[in-house]
Structure 1
Amino acid sequence: MGNPTHFSLEVPKRAHQLLRDLYEQLSDSEGTRLPLKATFLLSVSMPIVILPIERILNYKRKPADVHMNDAILNGRLADAVDRAIDLHAKVHTAKFFTGSWQYATLEKGSGFPNLAAVGLPENIATHLDSPQALEDARNLSANRFCKILRNALAHGGVLYLDQHGRSCSGAPVRRFAFVSTDSPKKPTKLYFLRIKMVDYRAFLQRWVDWLNEEAMEEILAEDLGLEAPDAEAVTISEEAAEATAK
């Protein structure tokens, strides 16, 4: 593959190809072995999630900025991204959403805890265990959901968690928590999105399929060699997905 014609479409597609081809060759996070599957999944997801937001959505909404503007390359795709990552519509209506996310918030009060040192606070973890956390995630605006995920990935706001969704040093990684503030300058609240590794992998598949589907104009598809998503190929059974996450 050469230089991308449409960076925000092709690079996520290439990154996801790496995920499909290489994920099963990595070691599990057991014993003394490094948690390479978790790290690889997280690393590959950065361009998949961030690029369409940074180079399509942001330029679509701020057309005066042009220095890295992929929005002009495919108007249909840019419009679709803008509609899907809606400022007000609930994220569960978006094509890229999967219903396994959990959401919680933490007020600053006298100060935020240092999550790098203490990990996921137990009161937040307990709330994330509740059915309400699933509903709260579904009812986030698509824009808020994507901002939390984008900010966490871009600024290192990610926690590795065990199978119970807790920070536990040395335990196999089975979940992620994505953490973002409500404001970059004077934050008053932390936002938490938690998800199992297996479900995060499924979300990335859905995200890439969504981008490809919205970009399927005849000329672009021919120029870039895009193919319609193969439902049989992209469907991962729960049993198989659980096995790959271990």
Structure 2
Amino acid sequence: MGNPTHFSLEVPKRAHQLLRDLYEQLGGSEGTRLPLKATFLLSVSMPIVILPIERILKYKRKPAEVHMNDAILNARLADAVDRAIDLQAKVHTAKFFTGSWQYATLEKGSGFPNLAAVGLPEVIAAHLDAPQALEDARNLSANRFCKILRNALAHGGVLYLDQYGRSRSGAPVRRFAFVSTDNSNKRLHFLRIKMADYRAFLQRWVDWMNGEAIEEILAEDLGLEAPEAEAVSIAEEAVEATVK
């Protein structure tokens, strides 16, 4: 397939296909090969998450802007993205959400720590370990959840973490933390997730996009498969994505 007809739909689908086809061929964190799985997963996820927000949702909510507007290409999909990434509704009600996220915040106080130097603060890691962190993530607005994830991916606000959810130099990467400031720049928002669960989330996200967009003509024109023909269950995806 050449130049995309619907960039925000087709490019995430292509990126996810790369993930499914190539992920298990990459070296893990052990042995002599470079540990590329975490880097590849993170890199591939950028167009999957960012493009629908930047090229559909942005223009759906600001129709006067037109220079990269995919919202007009499929009204059904644009409406679905706008509904799902709701300003107020809890994110756990969205079709793309998986219940494995953890959430915490850090007030700025006299200043934010330099996470590039110190990694994930232990006080935040401990908060994320608590069961309440799962509930706090579920109860974020869908808009806030997607904004944190989008900003972290777009601006490099990502931390590689070990199996315990800590920043430890040289340790195999088993989790990610996505970090974003709020609009006032007075608070840091942290979303933490296991790598296997993040991969399952990406599957759910792509399935959601396809499910909302597909009509017979669109499927034929773009070569898209119906979600039921393509989808791997989230449980199966998580098992398949387990990093050895």
If the TM-score is normalised by the length of the shorter chain, which range does it land in? over 0.9
Paired position in structure 2 for 1:56: 56
Indicate whether 1:193 and 2:186 are aligned.
Answer: no
Could you tell me which amino acid in structure 2 is paired with residue 202 of structure 1?
A
1:103-134 deviation digits (Å, cap 9, x = unpaired): 00000000000000000000000000000000
Q: Distance in 2 between matches of 1:20 and 1:239?
A: 12
1:173-214 deviation digits (Å, cap 9, x = unpaired): 00000000002xx51000000000000000000000000000
Paired position in structure 1 for 2:208: 210
The secondary structure found in structure 1 opposite 2:178 is strand
Give matches, 1:1-246, under 5 Å.
1-30=1-30, 33-183=33-183, 186-230=184-228, 234-235=232-233, 236-237=235-236, 240-241=239-240, 243=242, 245-246=243-244
Q: CA deviation at 1:233?
A: 5.1
Could you tell me which amino acid in structure 2 is paired with residue 217 of structure 1?
E
Q: CA deviation at 1:31?
A: 5.1
Q: Distance in 2 between matches of 1:149 and 1:240?
A: 23
Q: Which runs of 5+ in 2 are unaligned?
A: none
Q: CA deviation at 1:242?
A: 5.4
Q: CA deviation at 1:232?
A: 7.8
Q: Distance in 2 between matches of 1:201 and 1:2?
A: 26
Could you tell me which amino acid in structure 2 is paired with residue 172 of structure 1?
P
Q: Distance in 1 between matches of 2:228 and 2:169?
A: 39
Q: CA deviation at 1:227?
A: 1.1
Q: CA deviation at 1:32?
A: 5.3
Q: Distance in 2 between matches of 1:239 and 1:191?
A: 25
Q: Distance in 2 between matches of 1:200 and 1:42?
A: 9
TM-score between both structures, scaled by the size of structure 2: 0.96
Are 2:200 and 2:237, in contact at CA under 8 Å, matched by a contact in 1? no
Q: Distance in 2 between matches of 1:33 and 1:137?
A: 35
TM-aligned CA distance change 1:116 to 1:32, over 3 Å = farther
Percent identity, aligned pairs only, is 87
Q: Distance in 2 between matches of 1:123 and 1:173?
A: 20
Q: CA deviation at 1:80?
A: 0.2
TM-aligned CA distance change 1:19 to 1:242, over 3 Å = closer
Q: Which runs of 5+ in 1 are unaligned?
A: none
The secondary structure found in structure 2 opposite 1:35 is coil
Q: CA deviation at 1:27?
A: 0.3
Q: Distance in 2 between matches of 1:239 and 1:15?
A: 18
Bigger drift between 124-133 and 27-36 goes to 27-36
TM-aligned CA distance change 1:73 to 1:131, over 3 Å = same
The secondary structure found in structure 2 opposite 1:103 is strand
1:135-177 deviation digits (Å, cap 9, x = unpaired): 0000000000000000000000000000000000000000000
**Count of residues in correspondence between the two structures:** 243
Bigger drift between 232-241 and 194-203 goes to 232-241
Q: CA deviation at 1:240?
A: 3.0
Could you tell me which amino acid in structure 2 is paired with residue 237 of structure 1?
E
